[in-house]
Chain A
Amino acid sequence: MANVLVNAPKTARRGQAVEIKALILHPMETGFRPGADGRILPRNIIELFTATWNGVEVFRIELSPAIAVNPFVSFFAVATESGTIGLRWSGDEGFLVEEQVAIAVE
């Protein structure tokens, strides 16, 4: 089960810039740290975060091993039509989480 907290407005005026914030549970293991047995722990990070608005990509970032545990992402998008904001995190070890929030634009 996805462990995500999303903060996005439920409604917006047409043309308004809305802020979308998302927090996800993830270890973001860098691939550089030794574990308890002295061996390097395999890298396990989120590599890519994308956001779509009614299927159209509006935001994308590539994450690196320097990003902290449980990364918090915040971005703005201009509201043009009602629909669905899709958020997608993917990364090492087959990690894939998708979340959707609805927004009504008046």
Chain B
Amino acid sequence: MTARLVYRRMRVLRVGLALALVFGSTLVLAQGGGDKRRSGYQDMGPALQKMQDDDTANPAMLFVQLGQQGWARPSGAANKACADCHGVAAASMKGVAARYPAIPKGADAPVDLEGRINLCRTENQQAAKLPPESRELLALTAFVALQSRGQPIAPPDDPRLGVFREQGAAIYRLRQGQLNLSCALCHDDNAGKKLAGVTIPEAHPTAYPIYRLEWQALGSLKRRLRNCLVGIRAEPYAADAPEYVMLELFFMDRARGMALEAPGVRP
């Protein structure tokens, strides 16, 4: 006998709108007690929070799957996979995303997580660098970052980072662009208020890489920073400019102790 089945409802919507069906509790990524800092997550509506929390509805998880495949795939002249050296990512990569950018052994300037992965590409796999914002690099980054989900952001106590972080802080406070605005003017002085209907977040790097509905794609923190630079009509730094890593260092320090929620969803 065949199954008699009735379908009741159907929905195919922009992923961003698909959340009418979603309700219920949301994950609270609080840092406890008197800490008033708010992740961008807390400024999103319950529908988007639910989308981020559900690993089968969060589109970033599609890229995590790709990253997991990339992790196991031998590559480059060394014909080595990430897994050949690092084993099970859940163990070896736990907490790693929470402490980047950092200065790699033998180097004197910091790299972010993408930069660290590309170092392993060139030095350990003897393969070409993955281009910035390429699907392969974002997917690997998302897969590595996922292993630190829920971990508190914990920048390394490396005194050499100080000078870079201070330069990041200086950029953050610098008025620039045709609109002559500083990042701080929005993200410190006016966070929580509305800008053309959008809540201005405190700009914490807790969720990166993110699936941004506006992009319809996964994107890095760098891309998000570039967006805000373009927003104030400043000339964005070149894709591989050190300024981005400086800003990232500053943001990670400012968010010290907040829980990583990567890979997140943002409007």
Taking Cβ atoms with an 8 Å cutoff, the residues of A that contact B are: 1, 3-7, 17, 21, 23-25, 49, 53-54, 56, 58-59, 61, 63, 67-81, 83
**Contacting residue for B3 out of A24, A53, A75, CB 8 A:** A53
Nearest to B14 among chain A residues (CB) is A68
Secondary structure at the A interface, as helix, strand, loop or mixed, is strand
Q: A3-B62, A21-B57, A63-B12 are in contact. List 16 more A-B contacts (CB 8 A).
A: A3-B66, A5-B61, A5-B65, A7-B54, A7-B57, A23-B15, A49-B12, A56-B2, A58-B3, A59-B10, A67-B14, A72-B15, A75-B7, A76-B7, A78-B6, A83-B3
Taking Cβ atoms with an 8 Å cutoff, the residues of B that contact A are: 2-16, 18, 21, 54-57, 59, 61-63, 65-66, 69, 216-217
Asked if A70 meets B4 with Cβ closer than 8 Å, knowing A3-B65, A23-B15, A76-B9, the reply is no
Return chain A residues, CB-CB under 8 Å to B6. Answer: 17, 58, 77-78
Tell me if B15 and A74 are in contact (CB < 8 A): no
Return chain B residues, CB-CB under 8 Å to A68. Answer: 13-16, 216
Tell me if B7 and A70 are in contact (CB < 8 A): no
Alpha-carbon distance A58/B6, docked complex (angstroms): 7
Tell me if B5 and A53 are in contact (CB < 8 A): yes
Tell me if A58 and B7 are in contact (CB < 8 A): yes
Nearest to B135 among chain A residues (CB) is A25
Tell me if B56 and A21 are in contact (CB < 8 A): yes
**Contacting residue for A5 out of B8, B14, B62, CB 8 A:** B62
**Contacting residue for B56 out of A23, A49, A79, CB 8 A:** A23
Return chain B residues, CB-CB under 8 Å to A54. Answer: 2-3
Nearest to A64 among chain B residues (CB) is B12
Return chain A residues, CB-CB under 8 Å to B3. Answer: 53-54, 56, 58, 80-81, 83
**Contacting residue for B7 out of A6, A49, A59, A71, CB 8 A:** A59
Tell me if A78 and B65 are in contact (CB < 8 A): no
Return chain A residues, CB-CB under 8 Å to B69. Answer: 1
Alpha-carbon distance A78/B6, docked complex (angstroms): 5
Return chain B residues, CB-CB under 8 Å to A69. Answer: 15, 216-217
Return chain B residues, CB-CB under 8 Å to A78. Answer: 4-6
Tell me if A76 and B2 are in contact (CB < 8 A): no
* Shortest CB distance A10–B (Å): 13
Tell me if B57 and A72 are in contact (CB < 8 A): yes
Tell me if A70 and B11 are in contact (CB < 8 A): no
Closest 5 A-B residue pairs measured CB to CB? A7-B56, A68-B14, A76-B8, A69-B216, A58-B5
**Contacting residue for A17 out of B8, B15, B54, B65, CB 8 A:** B8
Return chain B residues, CB-CB under 8 Å to A21. Answer: 56-57
Of the A-B pairs whose beta carbons lie under 8 Å apart in the complex, a sample of 19, sorted by A's number, is A5-B57, A5-B62, A7-B56, A23-B61, A23-B62, A24-B62, A25-B66, A53-B5, A56-B2, A58-B7, A63-B12, A68-B216, A70-B216, A73-B11, A74-B11, A74-B18, A75-B9, A75-B11, A77-B7
Alpha-carbon distance A72/B54, docked complex (angstroms): 13
Nearest to A73 among chain B residues (CB) is B12
Tell me if A70 and B56 are in contact (CB < 8 A): no
Tell me if B7 and A23 are in contact (CB < 8 A): no
Nearest to B9 among chain A residues (CB) is A76
